[in-house]
Structure 1
Amino acid sequence: MFLSRTPELPTPEQALRGRPEAQFQLPERHTVLGNPLAGPYPDGLEVADFGLGCFWGAERKFWQQDGVWTTLVGYQGGHTPNPTYEEVCSGRTGHTEAVRVVYDPRQVSYETLLKLFWESHDPTQGFRQGNDRGTQYRSAIYTHTPSQATAADTSRQAYQQVLTGSGYGEITTEVLPSEGRPFYPAESYHQQYLSEAKNPGGYCGIGGTGVSCPIGVAAAPEPDETAK
């Protein structure tokens, strides 16, 4: 199955067994933003998870967004606990390369993050992004709240309409709850891989369609002055 021309996701029975704990230690702080990578995060912040191709370039897209507190890359949506990069790339874990975005909803809305997500890759390509091919490059949104799920579904429908009008096919993005789909942080060298401190001229295989997504244009809500 794993040598076929068209990638296929493994079943839980076919997936690699993995391990009970990660085999490496996550760096303490974000190379660019300076904030901690691992939770628990400060009160008032929210978490969003996205898969949009190679996570090196995807993470950079999000850490450049105002209102984002920290980002980290990892593996999500599969079956193998605590997978390694090599295992994920084998296609035998079921994971996709994902970016965890920790953001302040008082400064940036989830809809704005969705707009950035849709416009930063081609969500109609299935198990690939550009020249990057494999199940680990599939497009995905893993939601943490009912409101995120509603916003993700609404944005998908809205973007499908404009993509269809521009000659693109069906969106293949999976929109699923994060519950039951743990986010496993990737190895240390993958974190902020394209930062100036690590690989400023490194490879980035993601690219958008050039079609604007008609959501996320509203400003984040103003802080409640009475709550201070």
Structure 2
Amino acid sequence: MFGSLLRTTMVSPERALRGRSASAFPVPERHVVLGTPLAGPWPDGTAVLHLALGCFWGAERELWQLPGVVTTAAGYQGGYTPFPTYEETCTGMTGHTETVLVAYDPTVLPHAELLRTFWELHDPTQGFRQGNDRGTQYRSAVFTTTDEQTAAALSTRTAYEPALRSHGLGPITTEIRAVDSRDGVPGAGPFYYAEEYHQQYLHKVPHGYCPVHSTGVACPLPTA
């Protein structure tokens, strides 16, 4: 978005910025489009999935329009620095990627359907970039909160990769991790809300620049 140091290798935990013990800024209470709580509480049965697909401005706008979505929020996740700022994340020294929290009703929007939208909204083969946005904070990632989401992420990735290859694209580089550590595998860690001006940015600034980077390749849903 505003540029970065174009860090194209992940910072180590030892070198990452130290961060802070609490947010450096207030988090808005409500989604300015949907009118729902940005940080909960949400209705019983609401699922939460964290999706990183480049610039979070454009990604969030696409995701809040899906049927069954309760709320969305822009933030930072997958790295090491507690409660980072946008400027810190842009240095590449937090390890975080720009991420959209999606709270949704899985009886209306099944996990696989949400993930199909995720795959189709960006190019998951580009590594540490999306289009002209370059750096580790633009990497593709799925951070799950349930085993069902993890299974859906893996199965939709398996279904999508041959379709991408048939169009001359490379292997999927998307990181798929649970938020919490499981079976000895480190988790992605907490979702840290971004600053107020990032939340629903393209509603507030309708002509703001932040394109999605779709490949135009359809993602087939996996067969049972």
**Shared fold per TM-score greater than 0.5:** yes
How far off is 1:210 after superposition? 0.4
Q: Report how far residue 206 of structure 1 moved.
A: 2.2
Deviations 1:182-211 (A, max 9, x none): 10000000000001xx10111113220000
Alignment of 1:198-217 (within 5 A): 198-215=204-221
State the alpha-carbon separation in 2 of the partners of residues 24 and 6 from structure 1: 25
Whether the 8 Å contact between 2:7 and 2:136 is mirrored in structure 1 is no
Is 1:122 the counterpart of 2:123? The answer is: yes
Gaps of 5+ in 1: 219-228
Q: Counterpart of 1:154 in structure 2: which amino acid?
A: S
Q: Aligned pair 1:164/2:165, yes or no?
A: yes
**In structure 1, how many angstroms separate the alpha carbons of the residues matched to 2:159 and 2:73?**
28
Judged with a 3 Å threshold, the aligned counterparts in structure 2 of structure 1 residues 216 and 69 are, in CA distance, closer, same or farther, namely farther
Runs of 4+ in 1 over 2 A off after TM superposition: none
Query: What count of residue pairs does the alignment treat as equivalent?
Result: 214
Q: What's the CA shift for 1:6?
A: 6.2
After superposition, residues 25-174 of structure 1 pair within 5 angstroms as 25-174=26-175
**Is the Cα–Cα contact under 8 Å of residues 72 and 100 in structure 1 kept in the other structure?**
yes
Deviation at 1:170, TM superposition (A): 0.8
Q: CA deviation at 1:216?
A: 7.8
Verify the 8 A CA contact 1:53 1:205 in the aligned structure 2: no
Rounded to whole Å, the distance in 1 between the matches of 2:63 and 2:113 is: 11
- Highest CA radius of gyration, 1 or 2? 1
Please state whether the residue corresponding to 1:50 is helix, strand or coil: strand
Residue type of the alignment partner of 1:39 = G
Matched, 1:187 2:188: no
Instruction: Report if the CA contact (8 A) 1:131-1:205 is conserved.
Output: no
Equivalent residues of 1:113, 1:216 under 8 A apart: no
Q: Gaps spanning 5+ residues in structure 2: where? A: 181-186
* CA RMSD between the two structures: 1.7
